[in-house]
C-alpha cells in the first residue's frame, strides 16, 4: 500500500471540493428563484437548489473525512479501521481514500 498515493488522492479530492461546486452556484440559483415569476421555472429552480444543498452537505462530510484521513497519514495510523482497529482492505482505500472504517464495520453501521 502506497500512502503517498492516497495522500495525493485525498489532496486532489479536497481541491475539487474546495475549488468547484461550492457556495457560489447555490447563491446564484436562489437569486434566480426570487426573480422568476413563472411557476414551472420556480419549481425546477427549487429542485436545483435542493440538489445543490444535498451535494454541499455530502461535500462537507467528505471534506471532514479527508482532513481526518490526512491527519491519520501524519500520525501513521492511516488505513486502520476506526472501529475495530483492523487494516482496511486496499481496494476499499483505493476507491474511497477518506474512509474511516473497514467494510465489515461499514456494513454493521448501515444494518
Ligand atoms: Zn472495522
pLDDT digits (tens, 9 = 90+) for 14-31: 999 998 654 555 555 555
Measured in Å, residue 96 CA sits from the centre of ligand 1 at: 15
Q: Count the helix, strand and coil residues of the chain and give each as a percent rounded to the nearest 5.
A: 75, 0, 25
Contact 32, 44 (CB under 8 A): no
Distance CA 13, CA 76 (A): 20
Specify the pTM: 0.67
Ligand 1 (single-atom ion) residues, CB below 5 Å: 81, 83-84, 102, 105
| pLDDT tens per residue, range 33-70 | 554 455 555 556 677 777 777 778 889 999 999 999 99
Cβ pair 93, 99 in contact under 8 A: yes
Check: CB of residue 49 under 8 Å from CB of residue 33. Answer: yes
Q: Find the 50 Cα to ligand 1 centroid distance in Å.
A: 33
- The DSSP code for 79 is T
> How many angstroms separate the alpha carbon of residue 63 from the centre of ligand 1?
21
Amino acid at each position: 500500500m502506497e500512502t503517498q498515493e492516497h495522500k495525493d488522492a485525498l489532496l486532489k479530492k479536497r481541491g475539487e471540493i474546495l475549488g468547484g461546486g461550492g457556495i457560489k452556484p447555490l447563491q446564484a440559483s436562489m437569486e434566480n428563484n426570487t426573480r422568476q415569476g413563472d411557476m414551472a421555472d420556480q419549481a425546477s429552480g427549487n429542485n436545483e437548489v435542493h440538489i445543490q444543498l444535498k451535494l454541499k452537505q455530502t461535500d462537507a462530510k467528505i471534506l471532514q473525512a479527508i482532513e481526518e484521513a490526512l491527519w491519520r497519514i501524519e500520525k501513521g495510523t492511516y488505513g486502520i479501521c476506526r472501529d475495530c482497529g483492523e487494516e482496511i482492505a486496499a481496494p476499499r482505500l483505493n476507491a474511497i481514500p477518506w474512509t474511516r472504517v473497514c467494510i465489515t464495520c461499514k456494513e454493521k453501521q448501515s444494518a
